[in-house]
Copies of this chain bind each other. A is one copy, B any other.
C-alpha cells in the first residue's frame, strides 16, 4: 500500500500540517524538523505531491540545475546552454547556486525533491552529500562523483592537464608549476593535476604544485600568486582555470615579468567569453556544447525511464586553444 502523509507524520513524530509545510517549504521550520520529516519520507519511500502532480499531468516539466555560482563564466555558459536545450524540450530550469556551501546545497536538494522537479543536473563543489543517494529522482552529475548510480559527465581532465604541460614545455618552459584548485578525493578534476605530473615525469622535469582554493577571493588569490612568483622563478604556469590564469598574467605584469617571454601561462576552460574577449590566453577548451547536450540528453533518458541503462562515466575530449601566452 502506498504511504500517506499521515504515515510520514506518525513516523516523524510531527503533525500532518508540519509534514505538509516541509513538503511545500512553507513557513518557518527548524532544520531538525525538516531532517526528521525527510528521513521518514525516505524510509517510507513517500513521493510528495503525487496528487498535485497528477492533477497537472504526468510531469512537472521542471529541472533543478545546481552549480556553485553562475558568476563564474564557465558555469554561466554551461547553465545558459543547459537552459536553452531544456527549453527546446519543453522544460524549465530551477536555478540553484550552491555557493560551495554544503548546507545551502542540502537545503536546495530538499526543496527540489519536495517541490516536484522531474530531475536534477548537479555540478556543485561539495563532495559527498548523502542526500543525492536518498531519493529516487533522476540525477546526472557534472565533473563530480555523487553516488554509484548517478552517471558523471566530464571532459578529459587528465588529457587536458597533459596537453597544458606539453604546450608550456613546447613553448620553451622548463620549470613548470601548476596552480590547481583544492584536490578533493573522488573529484574528476584531479585528473588535470595527474596529467600535468605525468607529462613532466616523462620529460624528467620536476613538478611544483600550488593549491589556490576555488573559494578564495580574487584579492587573496592575487596576494598568494604574488608571493609565489616572487619566491620561485617559474618559466611556465598551468592554471587549472582561466580566471586564475588572468590573475597570474596580471600579477606578472605588476612584477615586470614579461608574458610570454619570461613566463608562459596556460589556462583551463576556454569559455566563449574568454575566447572572445581574452583571445591572447592559451587555454584548454572544455567542449561546453557537447557537455551540456550530453547532460540534458542523459537526464531526459532517465526521466523517461528511471531504470534505463547508462554508463557510470562519460568523458568528452578537450583541445588546446593557442593564444600568445604560451
Contact = CB atoms under 8 A, between A and B. Distances in A.
Nearest to A79: B70
A76 B84 contact: no
Interface string A230-250: 000000000000010011001
B272 A71 contact: yes
B61 A71 contact: no
Interface in A74-106: 76-77, 79-80, 83-84, 87, 90, 92-97, 99, 104
A94 B97 contact: no
Nearest to A222: B276
B26 A57 contact: yes
8 contacts: A26-B58, A26-B61, A55-B55, A69-B80, A71-B273, A92-B108, A219-B276, A250-B279
Contact of A94 (B79, B92, B112): B92
Contact of A95 (B95, B104, B115): B95
Main secondary structure on A side of the interface with B: helix
Interface in A174-221: 218-219
A120 to B, nearest CB: 13
Contacts of A112: 92
B24 A61 contact: yes
Contacts of A79: 70, 95
A144 to B, nearest CB: 20
Interface string A244-284: 00110010000000000000000000001100111100000
A277 B243 contact: yes
A318 interface: no
Contacts of A307: none
Contacts of A276: 218-219, 247
Interface in A268-306: 272-273, 276-279
A51 B69 CA distance: 35
A111 interface: yes
A147 interface: no
A25 interface: yes
Nearest to A117: B92
Contacts of A90: 25-26
A12 interface: no
Contact of A115 (B20, B92, B277): B92
B83 A76 contact: no
Interface in A33-89: 49, 51-52, 55-59, 61-62, 65, 69-71, 73, 76-77, 79-80, 83-84, 87
Nearest to A61: B25
A51 B97 CA distance: 31
| 5 A-B pairs closest in CB distance | A218-B276, A76-B76, A95-B95, A24-B57, A246-B277
